[in-house]
Amino acid sequence: MANVRVSDVFRQALRPPIADPAFWVVQASVVALTLAHLVLDHSGLVNSSALASLPVAALFIPVAYAALRFGLHGSAATALWATILWVPDLSVAHHHGDPGTDLVSLLLIDTVAVIVGQRIERENLARTAAMEASSRRRATEARYRQLFAATRAPILLFDMSGKVLDANPAAWSVFGSSVLEGTMGELLGLSPATLAGAASSGRVDLEVEGQPSEFRYLSSVSTGEGGAQFQVLLQDVTVERRAWRDVQAYAAALLGAQEEERSRLARELHDDPLQSLVHVARRLELLGMQAGITPDEATRLEEAHVELLDTSRRLRDIAQGLRPPALERLGLAAALQGLVADEEEDVPGSPRLDFAVHGIERRLVPECELGLYRIAQEALHNALEHAAPTRVQVVLSFDESLVHLTVTNDGTGFDPEVTPDADQLGVRGMRERAGLLGGTLAIDSSAGGHTRVTATVPLRMAGDPAAGTEPCAPVGPSDLVGPTPQA
């Protein structure tokens, strides 16, 4: 009763279930008991006050029935109705009945109506909520079963030991009619321990209709009627993976053709125009040394000789940029050190450029060294061209399984999301090269802040059976022995 407010009881009493005929039968019984009490109390039919008060006690029956049938709003309305009907009897003279006893009985009846009605009301609400929850669960299960059966992606349900519990029609078409007799290991080559815990994903190779296929799986742990279970959804990515490999092969071929063209241009520049310019410069030098040349002509010949030598040097730099010879002869670290030194020498008022190697340096396959060199070349060019830095640092790091190339500058920075298209082309090129090497490229920059470009590619250690098949597999022990090169 401590938790029941009087205002709530009255609100319930004022909302009786008047649409239910049984409610009116109960109210009629209350009226009948009231009339019976009046007759017994004010007539000479009985001489005992106990018999005269019997109808009052009998009010427990309709009140209790109203509570059981209708809850608090039925019992409260019935108790209120009984109290209203009994008030006139309490205020008139009695021949046999005791008003005090009747009043106590009415108070007890009202108390019972509230307590029992409230208890029944709560039980009814709980029962209704449980029925609604059960109905929603059945509807959800029906929708899930419909989706489970209609989806075109294979779905498998396993218990925690890896035994198949259920499979949708798409899974039957992939694994055959014996799918329900299989296990997780037999069907997917996976173990329950692999999928235990949080939701996970991965890739599995399966054979569908005699053809090798690639599937991406998404697994989750749910609770079913039999306890915890694995749900594994399979997505056929054979076509996508084949198309992606074709794109990668095309990009690799395109970059390879680009490098071949650069090598051809470098050779042609070195073998023909560059040699011709050097030959002309020597002839001008010889002409300037001949007798009979006036001082003015000698000066002009010397100026032309200097210009030709400067042009030759620039062509040599272009040829070396197209295909740096140090990269093939000395390796990535030496080539990067030369690149940093050349940039610092060529750019007037150049910022401070530093180079460092961390870890145990080793030679990599030519494709990997060339790819990392091009990434560093592009990142360094972008920093000097756009960022106006005071310091640029290039760091090449080797650890047991990865190679890291980091180019950091303290310039103006930029927002990678709103980079102009011309600059985006360079960023895309760096990302493409890193992806072809099996790695990733990360750019940490913000407008007005520093910029850090980090290329990370996997490294297979010597002695690993898979070494030599990875884009950045070592080709053997490093030929570079000695202190770490520093700019």
Strand arrangement of the beta sheet that strand 200-208 belongs to: 164-167, 155-159, 227-236, 211-224, 200-208
Structure confidence by residue, pLDDT tens digits, 242-253 = 777 777 676 667
For residues 264 and 267, what is the distance between their CA atoms, to the nearest angstrom?
A: 5
Closest of 39, 58, 62 to residue 105, by C-alpha: 58
Domain membership flag for residue 63:
yes
Q: What is the mean pLDDT of residues 470-486?
A: 44
CA distances from 300 to 281, 305, 311 (A): 13, 8, 16
Residues 6+ apart with CB under 8 A from 2: none
Residue 87 and residue 136 in contact, taking contact as beta carbons nearer than 8 Å: no
Residues 333 and 482 in one domain: yes
* Helix (H) or strand (E) run with residue 284 in it: helix 273-289
Helices (H), 179-272: 184-188, 192-195, 238-271
The answer to whether residue 367 scores a pLDDT higher than 70 is yes
Higher pLDDT, 416 or 470: 416
Entry pTM:
0.49
Q: Residue 444 forms beta bridges with which residues?
A: 452
Among candidate residues 83, 102, 133, the one where a domain is terminated: 133
Q: Identify the domain containing residue 192 by its residue range.
A: 152-236
User: In which band, very low, low, confident or very high, does the pLDDT at 357 lie, cut at 50, 70 and 90?
Assistant: very high
Domain membership flag for residue 33:
yes
Domain membership flag for residue 1:
no
Residues 349 and 458 in one domain: yes
Which region among 1-15, 277-291, 307-321, 383-397 has the lowest average model confidence (pLDDT)?
1-15
Q: C-alpha angle 355/345/421, rounded to 5°? A: 75
pLDDT value at residue 277: 72
Task: Please report where in the chains the tokens 């241009």 appear, as a residue.
Answer: 265
pLDDT value at residue 133: 86
Domain membership flag for residue 347:
yes
Q: What is the mean pLDDT of residues 264-283?
A: 68
CATH number for the domain spanning 181: value is 3.30.450.20
Residue 226 carries which side chain, given as an amino acid letter? G
Residues 303 and 213 in one domain: no
DSSP 14: T
Residue 270 and residue 314 in contact, taking contact as beta carbons nearer than 8 Å: no
Domain count for the chain:
4
Residues 314 and 334 in one domain: no
Residues 156 and 226 in one domain: yes
Residues 14 and 121 in one domain: yes
Q: What is the mean pLDDT of residues 147-156?
A: 83
User: In which band, very low, low, confident or very high, does the pLDDT at 461 lie, cut at 50, 70 and 90?
Assistant: very low
Q: What is the mean pLDDT of residues 285-306?
A: 74
pLDDT value at residue 453: 93
pLDDT value at residue 467: 42
Supply 361's token pair.
């340096």
Task: Please report where in the chains the tokens 């040829």 appear, as a residue.
Answer: 319
Residue 380 and residue 396 in contact, taking contact as beta carbons nearer than 8 Å: no
Q: What is the mean pLDDT of residues 80-107?
A: 65
The answer to whether residue 13 scores a pLDDT higher than 70 is no
Average pLDDT of the chain?
75
Q: Measure CA of the first residue to CA of the last residue in the chain; give whole Å.
A: 87
User: In which band, very low, low, confident or very high, does the pLDDT at 405 lie, cut at 50, 70 and 90?
Assistant: very high
Domain membership flag for residue 244:
no
Supply 381's token pair.
């060019």
Residues 227 and 157 in one domain: yes
Supply 8's token pair.
């709530």
Q: C-alpha angle 384/387/389, rounded to 5°? A: 75
Closest of 146, 158, 65, 153 to residue 113, by C-alpha: 65
The answer to whether residue 478 scores a pLDDT higher than 70 is no
The answer to whether residue 188 scores a pLDDT higher than 70 is yes
pLDDT value at residue 200: 75
Task: Please report where in the chains the tokens 């599937």 appear, as a residue.
Answer: 215
Q: What is the mean pLDDT of residues 226-236?
A: 83
pLDDT value at residue 2: 43
What backbone torsions phi and psi does residue 215 show, to the nearest 5 degrees? -125, 140
For residues 333 and 340, what is the distance between their CA atoms, to the nearest angstrom?
A: 11
Residues 422 and 338 in one domain: yes
Residues 339 and 457 in one domain: yes
CATH number for the domain spanning 402: value is 3.30.565.10
pLDDT value at residue 19: 80
DSSP-derived secondary structure for 408-457: EE-S----GGG--HHHHHHHHHHHHHHHHTT-EEEEEE-TTS-EEEEEEE
The answer to whether residue 189 scores a pLDDT higher than 50 is yes
DSSP 183: B
Q: What is the mean pLDDT of residues 439-451?
A: 83
Residues 319 and 333 in one domain: no
The answer to whether residue 463 scores a pLDDT higher than 50 is no
User: In which band, very low, low, confident or very high, does the pLDDT at 408 lie, cut at 50, 70 and 90?
Assistant: very high
User: In which band, very low, low, confident or very high, does the pLDDT at 477 lie, cut at 50, 70 and 90?
Assistant: very low
Q: What is the mean pLDDT of residues 443-464?
A: 76
User: In which band, very low, low, confident or very high, does the pLDDT at 65 lie, cut at 50, 70 and 90?
Assistant: confident
pLDDT value at residue 397: 93
Which region among 51-55, 68-72, 323-327, 368-372 has the lowest average model confidence (pLDDT)?
51-55
Domain membership flag for residue 226:
yes
The answer to whether residue 164 scores a pLDDT higher than 50 is yes
Residues 314 and 356 in one domain: no
pLDDT value at residue 455: 93
**What is the percent of the chain where pLDDT is above 70?**
71
pLDDT value at residue 457: 92
Burial of 451: CB neighbours in 10 Å, binned 0-12, 13-18, 19+: buried
Among candidate residues 323, 346, 365, the one where a domain is terminated: 323
Go through the chain and tell me how many residues it has: 487
Domain membership flag for residue 252:
no
The answer to whether residue 432 scores a pLDDT higher than 60 is yes
For residues 186 and 206, what is the distance between their CA atoms, to the nearest angstrom?
A: 11
Q: What is the mean pLDDT of residues 139-144?
A: 80
Domain membership flag for residue 243:
no
What backbone torsions phi and psi does residue 361 show, to the nearest 5 degrees? -70, 140
Half-sphere exposure of 303 (CA within 13 A, CB side): 6
pLDDT value at residue 393: 92
Residues 316 and 448 in one domain: no
Closest of 205, 171, 163, 200 to residue 188, by C-alpha: 205
